[in-house]
């Protein structure tokens, strides 16, 4: 089942089911007003939503036209956003390039980011200046229903209700300084973006296994291919990330858990899903950084398609812009 959110008078938008080809949608507000409400009441609404989805896909013409690129974020806001850094190759490249000690932990890496705003897939992204080192991070993420404190990784798998694709916007110059404090990121991690369509795990078929997305994430920077990294080289699957997050807290329904920037051992062939990693590779390969961070007006496009090139989450295509002077 594919779900999406249309913009409405509500800050949570309005819920629709989306056809297999991402071309049509049907209003689902009679079942649940929005996706956050649906995930809060998943066991009671899933059946009806799937029936509506089946009706839409069984008909060749029912519903209204849908454009995944202009949709809102499936979750325009939610109660908790925890982002991992679960691709060890990313860490290895950063450590090698900048001569950092290996990360001293036997647990998943994870930080809490702002969850009150997720931009839609074609929204302009405002930044106060170009000086922060504007960067994207192509990621996958999962949305869970309520997860009680202490839930095991095995049980956590059952709480994963939806899979999404994300861009975790980052301000690298600030982020490096913030990381040194040990406190994680505030200024270095502004609001993220989400691709327009959220998928139940069954939509990915065999590409969803071991709690990982076995599909490439294509990233284009200003029209040129930047990376085609595959989501299946995580050192912890999403179920393990969920269990880590829930070790000492109850996770509210709608909690979003991210993979961190997708990164592969074969980076020389597949590239990267963030500029920061490319800059680290520049240093390793050429002894100097050759790749600039983003400037106002630059665009980044991200899309993951299925094994037969079928649409899944829909594309993201976003431009970075200068935020107007605040009062």
d(CA 209, CA 1) in angstroms, rounded, equals 17
Q: How many residues bind a copy of itself (CB under 8 A)?
A: 54
Using the minimum distance from each CB to a copy of itself, give the nearer residue, 247 or 292. Answer: 247
Q: What one-character-per-residue DSSP string does 85-139 give?
A: ---HHHHHHHHHHHTPPPP--SS--EEEE--S-EE-TT--EEES-STT-EE--EE
Helices (H), 199-326: 238-245, 267-270, 275-286
Q: Please check whether residue 85 is in contact with residue 276, taking contact to mean a CB–CB distance below 8 angstroms.
A: no
The least CB distance from residue 172 to a copy of itself, in Å, is 12
Q: Please check whether residue 181 is in contact with residue 102, taking contact to mean a CB–CB distance below 8 angstroms.
A: no
Q: Which of residues 105-134 bind a copy of itself (CB under 8 A)?
A: 105, 107, 109-117, 126-128, 132
Which one of 5, 85, 264, 272 is in contact with a copy of itself (CB under 8 A)? 85
Using the minimum distance from each CB to a copy of itself, give the nearer residue, 250 or 310. Answer: 250
Which one of 244, 278, 279, 301 is in contact with a copy of itself (CB under 8 A)? 244
Residue 132 in tokens: 């922060």
Q: Is residue 295 within the footprint of a copy of itself (CB under 8 A)?
A: no
Q: Is residue 185 within the footprint of a copy of itself (CB under 8 A)?
A: yes
Q: Is residue 188 within the footprint of a copy of itself (CB under 8 A)?
A: yes
Which one of 52, 125, 166, 171 is in contact with a copy of itself (CB under 8 A)? 171
The least CB distance from residue 153 to a copy of itself, in Å, is 13
Q: Which of residues 130-169 bind a copy of itself (CB under 8 A)?
A: 132, 148-151, 155
Q: What one-character-per-residue DSSP string does 43-91 give?
A: HHHHHHHHHHHHHHHHSSS-SEE--TTTSPPSSS--S-EEEE---HHHH
Q: Is residue 284 within the footprint of a copy of itself (CB under 8 A)?
A: no
Interaxial angle between packed helices 88-98 and 275-286, expressed in degrees from 0 to 180 and rounded to the nearest 10: 50
Residue window 304-323: x/- pattern of binding to a copy of itself, with contact defined by CB under 8 A: -------------------x
Using the minimum distance from each CB to a copy of itself, give the nearer residue, 85 or 304. Answer: 85
Q: Which of residues 249-278 bind a copy of itself (CB under 8 A)?
A: 249-250, 252
Distances (CA, A) of 38 to 6, 16, 33, 192, 204: 14, 11, 8, 22, 20
Q: Is residue 177 within the footprint of a copy of itself (CB under 8 A)?
A: yes
d(CA 92, CA 157) in angstroms, rounded, equals 28
d(CA 183, CA 176) in angstroms, rounded, equals 11
Q: Please check whether residue 189 is in contact with residue 139, taking contact to mean a CB–CB distance below 8 angstroms.
A: no
Q: Which of residues 59-78 bind a copy of itself (CB under 8 A)?
A: 77
Which one of 43, 104, 288, 309 is in contact with a copy of itself (CB under 8 A)? 104
Residues in the chain: 327
| CA 65 to the chain's CA centroid | 25
Q: Which of 169, 6, 207 shows the shortest CA–CA distance to 81?
A: 169
Q: Is residue 248 within the footprint of a copy of itself (CB under 8 A)?
A: yes
Which one of 13, 121, 141, 190 is in contact with a copy of itself (CB under 8 A)? 190
Q: Is residue 90 within the footprint of a copy of itself (CB under 8 A)?
A: no
The least CB distance from residue 273 to a copy of itself, in Å, is 19
The least CB distance from residue 79 to a copy of itself, in Å, is 4
Chain contacts with a copy of itself (rule: CB under 8 A): 77, 79-80, 82, 85, 103-105, 107, 109-117, 126-128, 132, 148-151, 155, 171, 174, 177-188, 190-191, 244-245, 247-250, 252, 323, 325-327
């Amino acid at each position: 089942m594919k779900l999406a959110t249309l913009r409405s008078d509500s800050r949570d938008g309005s819920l629709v089911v989306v056809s297999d080809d991402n071309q049509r949608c049907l209003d689902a507000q009679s079942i649940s007003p929005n996706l956050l409400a649906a995930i809060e009441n998943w066991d009671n609404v899933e059946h009806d939503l799937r029936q509506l989805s089946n009706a839409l896909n069984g008909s060749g013409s029912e519903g209204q036209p849908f454009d995944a690129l202009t949709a809102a974020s499936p979750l325009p806001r939610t109660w908790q956003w925890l982002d991992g850094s679960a691709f060890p190759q990313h860490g290895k490249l950063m450590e090698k390039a900048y001569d950092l000690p290996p990360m001293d932990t036997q647990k998943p890496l994870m930080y809490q980011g702002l969850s009150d705003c997720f931009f839609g897939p074609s929204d302009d992204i405002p930044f106060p200046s170009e000086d922060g080192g504007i960067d994207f991070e192509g990621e996958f993420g999962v949305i869970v229903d309520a997860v009680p404190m202490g839930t095991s990784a095995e049980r956590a798998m059952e709480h994963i209700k939806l899979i999404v694709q994300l861009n975790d916007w980052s301000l690298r110059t600030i982020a490096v300084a913030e990381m040194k404090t040990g406190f994680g990121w505030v200024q270095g991690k502004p609001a993220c973006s989400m691709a327009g369509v959220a998928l139940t795990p069954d939509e990915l078929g065999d590409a969803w296994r071991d709690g990982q997305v076995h599909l490439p994430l294509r990233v284009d920077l200003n029209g040129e291919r930047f990376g085609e990294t595959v989501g299946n080289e995580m050192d912890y699957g999403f179920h393990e990330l969920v269990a880590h997050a829930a070790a000492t807290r109850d996770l509210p329904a709608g909690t979003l858990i991210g993979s961190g920037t997708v990164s592969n051992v074969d980076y020389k062939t597949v590239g990267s899903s963030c500029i920061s990693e490319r800059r680290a590779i520049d240093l390793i390969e050429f002894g100097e950084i050759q790749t600039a961070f983003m400037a106002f007006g630059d665009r980044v496009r991200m899309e993951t398609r299925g094994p037969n090139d079928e649409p899944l989450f829909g594309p993201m295509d976003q431009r970075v812009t200068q935020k107007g002077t605040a009062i």
